[in-house]
Amino acid sequence: MAKLLGVDFLDVIFVASATEANNLMLQGAVKQYHRLNKDQKTELPHIITSVIEHESVLAVCRDLEEQQLARVSYIPVDHNGFVGAAAISRALRPETILVSVMYVNNVTGAVQPLSEIGAIIKSFKKDKLSPKHYSQYLPRELLYPIFHTDAAQAIHSLELIELAKIGVETMTISSHKIYGPKGGGALAANFPISLGLAPCLIGGLQEFGLRAGTPDLPNIVGFARAMSLVRQEIKQEIKHAKAIRQQLLQGIIKAYPRAVVNSHPPYIDGVCNISFPGFGLEELLYRFDQRCIAVAAGSACSAKALNPSHVLRAIGLTDSVALSSVRFSFGRYTSKQEVSYCLEQLPYILS
């Protein structure tokens, strides 16, 4: 896994989920900052993230704010769902320790401009080393800000995953998103990760001291094997998802011309968000379910929620339109026959 991500094996930390990896990244970075600066009067550490992140990032940020452990800037997105690199640049401060922007949005499939954001962060850090500013920082502060991405939705959908080539320094990945065992995740870094993080789960010295507890070895082996297979077949995976998506979209627009596609390029083909004006969310989910078709209101983590998606609100959709939106997702095991069945049932679902 380290080889595929372009990092050292010492800097791949296995955890129980992508949610735990995100918690380790955000809480661990803040905890480490306070630990290193406990004897000094410093500003609260500052985090930059976007308004469309997964709840495992946003909820942690809100919790850190409530505990007065960090300040957070939430960067808005444009009407197509993309984070602006210029907005990240404007938000950077001397006390910024972390920037966390997801690689692929889990609701719309939008691929975020990580390379542009990474270049800005690299320039910001380089400026710290200039003769003009160097004396203002302690050596350990030159590590900041760390650029993190939640790439759980990207590993099976995009060819580029090596951290340095993307321009990020830490990355969250998930096992079940790549057909591996559920209950597995990892946080990878392209620098000595223990410099920037303190452990959140304390006890033993497993996972290089950053995640106590006996590792789930069978899960990790399955995770690694799944990742190896997915990366070997990534071109076929992308090609298959593209064909499925085109078939689905063409059929939906034909069956219901009022449908609105909320996923805008660049996107991954395995996720597509569509609004069906005139219907409510609960009604849509029920009607699809009655025809044995699995769609979602948003991510699987919010499957029981019937509120408008925070992502769709962020791109400017009204609550009524957002509540008529469902997410279709598919992968290597989704067949053209299954899509044909879905399209055959649409006239009954949308009647």
Q: Catalytic pick from 61, 200, 301, 342?
A: 301
Q: Encode pLDDT of 249-276 as tens digits.
A: 999 999 999 999 999 999 999 999 999 9
CB 325 within 8 A of CB 262: yes
Q: Encode pLDDT of 208-249 as tens digits.
A: 999 999 999 999 999 999 999 999 999 999 999 999 999 999
- In terms of Cα–Cα distance, which of 61, 128, 53 is closest to 95? 128
Domain check: are 63 and 204 in the same one? yes
Question: Phi, psi (5° rounding) for residue 32?
Answer: -65, -40
Domain check: are 17 and 105 in the same one? yes
Q: Provide the pLDDT for residue 309.
A: 93
Catalytic site residue 292?
no
Domain check: are 62 and 173 in the same one? yes
Domain check: are 116 and 225 in the same one? yes
Domain check: are 44 and 192 in the same one? yes
Domain check: are 182 and 224 in the same one? yes
Q: What is the CATH number of the domain that holds 345?
A: 3.90.1150.10
Residue 330, pLDDT above cutoff 90: yes
- Residue position matching structure tokens 């900052």: 33
Domain check: are 279 and 219 in the same one? no
Domain boundary among 165, 199, 231: 231
Domain boundary among 179, 197, 231: 231
Torsion of CA 81, 87, 88, 90, to 10 degrees: -170
Q: Encode pLDDT of 160-201 as tens digits.
A: 999 999 999 999 999 999 999 999 999 999 999 999 999 999
Is 135 or 205 the better-scoring residue by pLDDT? 205
At residue 128 the predicted structure's pLDDT band, cuts being 50, 70 and 90, is confident
Q: What is the CATH number of the domain that holds 44?
A: 3.40.640.10
Six-digit token pair at 113? 């401009």
At residue 305 the predicted structure's pLDDT band, cuts being 50, 70 and 90, is low
Domain check: are 111 and 128 in the same one? yes
Portion of the chain with pLDDT greater than 90, in percent: 89
Segments forming the whole domain that contains residue 52: 2-231
Portion of the chain with pLDDT greater than 70, in percent: 97
CB 17 within 8 A of CB 184: yes
Domain check: are 35 and 137 in the same one? yes
Q: Provide the pLDDT for residue 163.
A: 98
Q: How many domains does the chain have?
A: 2
Quick check: pTM over 0.85?
yes
Q: Rounded mean pLDDT of the chain?
A: 94
Q: Provide the pLDDT for residue 274.
A: 97
Domain check: are 124 and 8 in the same one? yes
Domain check: are 342 and 263 in the same one? yes
Domain boundary among 231, 261, 285: 231
Pairing, β 185-189 against β 12-15 = antiparallel
User: In 194-226, which positions are buried (b, 16+ CB within 10 angstroms) versus exposed (e)?
Assistant: bebbbbbbeeeebbeebbeeeebeebbebbbeb
Domain check: are 156 and 286 in the same one? no
